[in-house]
Structure 1
Amino acid sequence: MKTHIAPALRLTVALIILTAVVYPLVVAGIARLAPSSGAGEQVIVNGKVVGYARIGQTFTEDRYFNTRPSAVDYNAAGSAGSNKGPSNPDYLKAVQARIDTFLVHNPGVQKADIPAELVTASGSGLDPDLSPAGAKIQVRRIAKVRGIAVARLNQLVDEHTKEPLLGLFGPPTVNVLALNVALDALK
């Protein structure tokens, strides 16, 4: 028995040191080499930090593009999904409430045309991006509220659409914060 316990304890201690001490220090060291020293990419407008490029935040006013719902109310300290399955009654009620709210704020849009990302939370609850379709379905509402041509807003969405990495990995995305900052900059 001694021949098995001693090596197992040594291996456990070695793995604890490797995974709980060495690895986090290496990752933190690499993060220091990133822009902003790993503190996140701040979005600054007129000298004021308005958000972080890779962390979602809520936009609920009709004059802005709405972002994806969050199961954690955009709390970066508590990133998580809702963990409710598609047959959970509470989940279904929450999704239906989001659909109803979206339809009230976007008259003329049909329920079947709403991209799922606008009524379902992401796995992290902090997703800062929408698909181009998720942004474009909101264009008519924003055009009406702001008095901007629909064509100009569609062009703005196209300008802020980021293509997949190497044209292969992932879908095209639109960063909602960057899009709303550009929207405010329109004259």
Structure 2
Amino acid sequence: MKIFLSALQMLVLMTLLTGVAYPLLVTGVAQVIFPEQANGSLLYRDDKPVASAMLAQNLTDPRYFWPRPSAGDFDGMASGGSNYGQSSPDLMQQWQSRIAQWQQSTDQKKPIPVELIQASASGLDPHISLAAAYYQLSRVAQSRGLTEDQVKRVLAQYVDRSGWFTGVPMVNVMILNLALDQQGVSHAAR
């Protein structure tokens, strides 16, 4: 019985330490040091949260820059890749379908950036390269009733040139699209 009581005491102690105290400590530290990130990196429109800067959404409206494809259909619970191998016929079919979609969405004959064809590893990545953003520029400008230069000026403000991970200038499409809307260029084509 003495061993059982010792084990029960240890269970209660460890539950309180690792299940209550540690999560509260980590949450508190995160709230103090990184409050925006700890609260989901939310993006607001009219003081209402509309998106997270860390999660892509399935955008199909031609007025918006589109993120990379998602194997999990932009569902956070299904985050991850498709696990198809490079020689998979199903993967090739997905790529052909995405190529056809991009060719229909734009009248450009230039090559489609590969990241717009291949899904991101998480399926939720909101970042695209500057090349992928420029590939979509004419569609977005035309759909908004703007010149490409007008959209380029907004785009230039939101390019992350730090390249800390990829070495390539990146654009967060969620932040960029919200900026286009907030700067009054979302209703020009309506």
Determine the structure 1 residue equivalent to 2:101. Answer: 101
2:119 counterpart SS class: coil
Displacement after TM superposition at 1:28 (Å) = 4.3
CA contact (8 A) 1:132 1:157 kept: no
Q: How many angstroms apart in 1 are the aligned matches of 2:115 and 2:28?
A: 35
Please, which of 95, 120, 136 is the counterpart of residue 134 of structure 2?
A: 136
Q: How many angstroms apart in 2 are the aligned matches of 1:115 and 1:133?
A: 7
Determine the structure 1 residue equivalent to 2:9. Answer: none
Asked if 1:173 is matched to 2:170, the reply is: yes
Please, which of 110, 119, 122 is the counterpart of residue 120 of structure 2?
A: 122
Determine the structure 1 residue equivalent to 2:30. Answer: 31
Determine the structure 2 residue equivalent to 1:77. Answer: 77
Shift of the 36–183 alpha-carbon distance from structure 1 to 2, 3 Å rule, reads closer
Determine the structure 1 residue equivalent to 2:8. Answer: none
Deviations 1:20-65 (A, max 9, x none): x48x736545433321472311101112211001111111111111
Shift of the 32–163 alpha-carbon distance from structure 1 to 2, 3 Å rule, reads same
Determine the structure 2 residue equivalent to 1:146. Answer: 144
Equivalent pairs, count: 167
Shift of the 78–155 alpha-carbon distance from structure 1 to 2, 3 Å rule, reads same
1:138 counterpart SS class: helix
2:101 counterpart SS class: helix
Determine the structure 2 residue equivalent to 1:62. Answer: 62
CA contact (8 A) 1:74 1:125 kept: yes
Determine the structure 2 residue equivalent to 1:4. Answer: none
Letter of the aligned partner of 2:79 in structure 1?
S
2:44 counterpart SS class: strand
Displacement after TM superposition at 1:108 (Å) = 2.1
Q: How many angstroms apart in 1 are the aligned matches of 2:74 and 2:153?
A: 28
2:131 counterpart SS class: helix
CA contact (8 A) 1:163 1:172 kept: yes
Asked if 1:51 is matched to 2:48, the reply is: no
Displacement after TM superposition at 1:109 (Å) = 3.1
CA contact (8 A) 1:95 1:120 kept: yes
Deviations 1:70-115 (A, max 9, x none): 11111123321111122111011001100100100111233xx211
TM-score, scaled relative to structure 2: 0.78
TM-score, scaled relative to structure 1: 0.79
Question: Where in structure 1 are there 5+ consecutive unaligned residues?
Answer: 1-16
Shift of the 66–183 alpha-carbon distance from structure 1 to 2, 3 Å rule, reads same
Shift of the 37–125 alpha-carbon distance from structure 1 to 2, 3 Å rule, reads closer
Q: How many angstroms apart in 2 are the aligned matches of 1:122 and 1:151?
A: 29
Q: What fraction of aligned residue pairs are identical, expressed as a percent?
A: 36
Shift of the 89–150 alpha-carbon distance from structure 1 to 2, 3 Å rule, reads same
CA contact (8 A) 1:136 1:157 kept: no
Please, which of 156, 159, 172 is the counterpart of residue 158 of structure 1?
A: 156
